[in-house]
Amino acid sequence: MKVLKFGGTSVGTAQNIKKVIAILQKESLSSPIVCVVSAVGGITDKLLQAGELAKQKNKSYLTVFDKIKSIHFKVIEDLVNNPKSILKEVDATFENLKQLLNGIYLINELSPKTSDKLVSYGELLSSFIIAEVMEDLNLNTVLKNSQELIITNNNFTKAEVNYDVTNKNIVDYFNKANQLITILPGFVSKSQSGETTTLGRGGSDFTAAIVAAALKVDQLEIWTDVSGMYTTNPKLVKQAYPIANLSYQEAMELSHFGAKVLYPPTVQPVLNLSIPIHIKNTLHPEAFGTIISNQKKENHLTVKGISHIDNVALLTLEGSGMVGIPGFSKRLFETLANEKINIIFITQASSEHSICFGIDINNAEQAEQAINNAFEYEISLHKINPIIVEKGLSIIALIGDNMKSHQGISGKLFSTLGKNNINVRAIAQGASEKNISAVINQSDVKKALNSLHERFFEVNTKQLNVFITGIGNVGEKLIDQIKQQHNFLKKNLKLDVKIVGMSNSRKMIFNPNGIDLNNWTEPFHHADKSSIEGFYQKVIDLNLRNSIFVDVTANKNVSAIYDSYLKQSVAVVACNKIACSDKYANYKNLQDLSLKYNAPFLYETNVGAGLPIINTLNNLVASGDKVISIQAVLSGSLNFVFNNFSDKKNFHDTVKQAQFEGYTEPDPRIDLSGIDVARKILILARENGIPMEIEDITNDSFLTEANLNSDSVDDFYDTLINDEAHFQKLYASAQANNCQLKYVAEYKNGKAKVGLQEVPEGHPFYNLEGKDNIVMFYTQRYPEQPLIVKGAGAGADVTASGLFADIIRIGNK
Ligand code: ADP
Ligand code: ASP
Ligand code: MG
């Protein structure tokens, strides 16, 4: 004999019921079967909703009633060719239900006892309909009301089973029964005095387990809408997958901590008899599912699953009067037991100064009152404080029998939560170490489950959620590069880089599952209006793990919001150099926030675009080398200008050409004045640990007073024409000395300067071409022959690749 239980979704539509019947037919070929059914999906909730409305004297309970009725009628009409006779009987049942609801409406009250009577209609109806359909198909079927078998106490809504009577009833009945298939309604039972009771929400699983244990069957099958017990709730974590084998303890812990696929008490009756529970998917019967048994199966995973419970209230009782006084906890927990309040979670600080426990949020007020009453005397003496109640919380739990023999699991748990800016309010770990649980904000649950799942089950792939601001030349190149490298990174570096948000100064779009990079321009043009603050808010609201904000603008206001991102543990990658070259205090603050919130702040492209300059310097310093001096040509624009300027080509036209070809800022004065180079050497000095300000840098400008004092770009170009002789003089002098003009940045002994220099032949700067940059690091380890980084120091492609490299570095962290 086998016991099969089908859940609400499995019997939720005519189409699914047909699948159930096919499974029953197949399975009954090998042995007689007992089939326990839930109410049609969603009906229990609707019955309770109708009852609540009626109790509140809200007439719309009738609308809900009509809906419940029409759902059932539709199922019947879709299933049976000639539904008349079934409909007649079902109609009579609905009349009774309506009268019950009218009664609740009239007396304005819904007691637990009436509530059980009300919800029992769900299973009674579904089992009746399915049995009728099976008979209609001439299958050897009988319907038995499990209320005649399962006898409980009077604890309405979650009654306790009297196993002596129940087991005897079941054995006696099935000894005499000779049908191949017996249909039983799940969830419903009766008290000794004959009142309708139920076994608790989700209790049809329990019905099946009770019957399976009483009949000592070989296997209990729970058929549902997912392919087994998953590593975590598959509705919240897309990457979750079914666990093939679990021990009873693991299954119990997982279900107790919210894996709703199995009702927790289900395990107990079958555990004692070692009857395996097989969880299967009605919609995909071919899937293996999960087998729960006490057979030890080899499994390399120490953490088997991650569960969570929402709607938790955390209550804390504290005060000096608790220390060392025996019986304190007993009084506390007795108070809760008397109120029939279930405790989900307990921790106590070792100082005994406080006890903290988690309960269902619906019991919070009742618990608060009862405890404050129970300890009224101690509270009046200020020996303890009135109980503190916090709401809006959830518990997440790592479950696995083998966690006790592995160290470092809680470390991984908390570092993963910490890295993702998820605040842990309380923790508990039983000595058996089958479960480590943490209380967190409910709004963080999805992020917590996803990041923990990634850490414990997808060891290999890490998802990076990228938000790009500044979709111009460089931004578009970055998007292209990410698109092109996506599969490579996933395969080789186990990084799944998703662009979740994009914005420019006008538009912004988001897709939490990743924007389709093959088709983003069209949606982007029709996107919402953007703002710096609005973009930030959306990043925070999405609350995704491994979030990275990428600033591809040159906008001061964008750089002013980095601190907010870092404080939310969102990493920042910037090619915008304003933040790092602004006041030292601001730079330092961002570095500190990055450390404090474990959120990387990377800006390799601030100096030399994609060239690995900052990274090289950081590595030198971190590995204990000391920088003696830095000499560099860091302006692609100035390099271009002085490589093209000569006695045959005037200075004005050369600068115009540089601007035209995109080698200068829109305002070429920023480049020509040397400010841009000064900012870059400032950043290098700071990376070398020197708290320098931009004013500390000596800037010997080669421009004339008139150039520097021009009040517009046009005016500036006019002054260049007027001062041509000045520039020709610089050129002639360099020629006479057999030198090249280079705009050089230097750092030495904590001081920095920038300015035009005549570079002699043979010097590494002499032959620097086009828009190339070069940096020479003289250090203790490289005292004579410097470490040189050289290459294209400007351009959209290389800048984008520098940003991309920063993103990948964060992923590899
Ligand atoms: P049924 O109506 O068949 O009893 P339930 O809705 O009670 O089904 O339970 C199945 C649901 O449990 C799944 O659809 C899924 O959303 C939820 N669930 C939560 N955690 C898990 C988990 N770890 N594994 C599988 N399902 C889970
Ligand atoms: N129908 C009941 C409920 O929704 C029992 C069950 O489905 O297991 O809670
Ligand atoms: Mg269920």
122 in contact with ligand 2, CB cutoff 6 A: yes
Q: Which of 32-41, 90-99, 322-331, 512-521 shows the lowest per-residue confidence on average (mean pLDDT)?
A: 322-331
202 in contact with ligand 1, CB cutoff 6 A: yes
Give the pLDDT confidence score for residue 297 in this predicted structure: 66
Averaged pLDDT for residues 166-183: 95
The pLDDT confidence band at residue 801, using thresholds 50, 70 and 90, is: very high
Averaged pLDDT for residues 421-437: 84
Give the pLDDT confidence score for residue 434 in this predicted structure: 84
The pLDDT confidence band at residue 334, using thresholds 50, 70 and 90, is: very high
The atom number, within ligand 1, closest to the CA of 202 reads 7
Residue of 741, 744, 735 lying closest to 773 (CA atoms): 744
228 in contact with ligand 2, CB cutoff 6 A: no
Ligand 1: centre distance to CA 18 (Å):
21
Averaged pLDDT for residues 773-796: 93
State pLDDT tens for residues 204-244: 999 999 999 999 999 999 999 999 999 999 999 988 999 99
Give the pLDDT confidence score for residue 796 in this predicted structure: 87
202 in contact with ligand 2, CB cutoff 6 A: yes
Give the pLDDT confidence score for residue 662 in this predicted structure: 75
pLDDT higher at 350 or 140: 140
State pLDDT tens for residues 707-738: 999 999 999 999 999 999 999 999 999 999 99
In this predicted structure, the answer to whether residue 351 has a pLDDT above a threshold of 80 is no
98 is catalytic: no
Instruction: Please tell me which residue in 190, 304, 462, 680 is annotated as part of the active site.
Output: 680
507-510 and 495-503 beta bridge pairing: antiparallel
Residue 396 DSSP one-character state: E
Name the closest ligand to CA 241.
Answer: 1
| From 124, 126, 187, mutation site for ligand 2 pocket: most ligand atoms within 8 A of C-beta | 187
Angle CA 41–45–46, to nearest 5: 90
The atom number, within ligand 1, closest to the CA of 254 reads 23
Mean pLDDT, rounded, of the chain: 94
Residue of 215, 218, 213 lying closest to 172 (CA atoms): 215
The atom number, within ligand 2, closest to the CA of 201 reads 9
Strand order in the sheet with 495-503: 528-529, 507-510, 495-503, 462-469, 547-551, 571-574, 601-602
Give the pLDDT confidence score for residue 459 in this predicted structure: 64
Ligand 3: centre distance to CA 346 (Å):
26
pLDDT higher at 52 or 340: 52
| From 233, 310, 450, 456, mutation site for ligand 1 pocket: most ligand atoms within 8 A of C-beta | 233
Ligand 1: centre distance to CA 279 (Å):
10
In this predicted structure, the answer to whether residue 462 has a pLDDT above a threshold of 70 is yes
Rounded to the nearest 10°, the torsion over CA 167, 171, 177, 179 is: 70
The amino acid present at 547, given as its one-letter code, is S
For helices 651-660 and 713-722, the axis angle rounded to 10 degrees is 150
In this predicted structure, the answer to whether residue 350 has a pLDDT above a threshold of 70 is no
Give the pLDDT confidence score for residue 428 in this predicted structure: 85
668 in contact with ligand 2, CB cutoff 6 A: no
Averaged pLDDT for residues 296-316: 86
In this predicted structure, the answer to whether residue 154 has a pLDDT above a threshold of 80 is yes
pLDDT higher at 123 or 272: 123
State pLDDT tens for residues 190-202: 999 999 999 999 9
Q: Which of 114-123, 252-261, 350-359, 370-379 shows the lowest per-residue confidence on average (mean pLDDT)?
A: 350-359
83 in contact with ligand 1, CB cutoff 6 A: no
The amino acid present at 425, given as its one-letter code, is R
265 in contact with ligand 2, CB cutoff 6 A: no
Strand partners, 785: none
Give the pLDDT confidence score for residue 326 in this predicted structure: 75
In this predicted structure, the answer to whether residue 772 has a pLDDT above a threshold of 80 is yes
Ligand 3: centre distance to CA 37 (Å):
10
7 in contact with ligand 1, CB cutoff 6 A: yes
The pLDDT confidence band at residue 431, using thresholds 50, 70 and 90, is: low
Give the pLDDT confidence score for residue 352 in this predicted structure: 66
The pLDDT confidence band at residue 94, using thresholds 50, 70 and 90, is: very high
The atom number, within ligand 1, closest to the CA of 229 reads 24
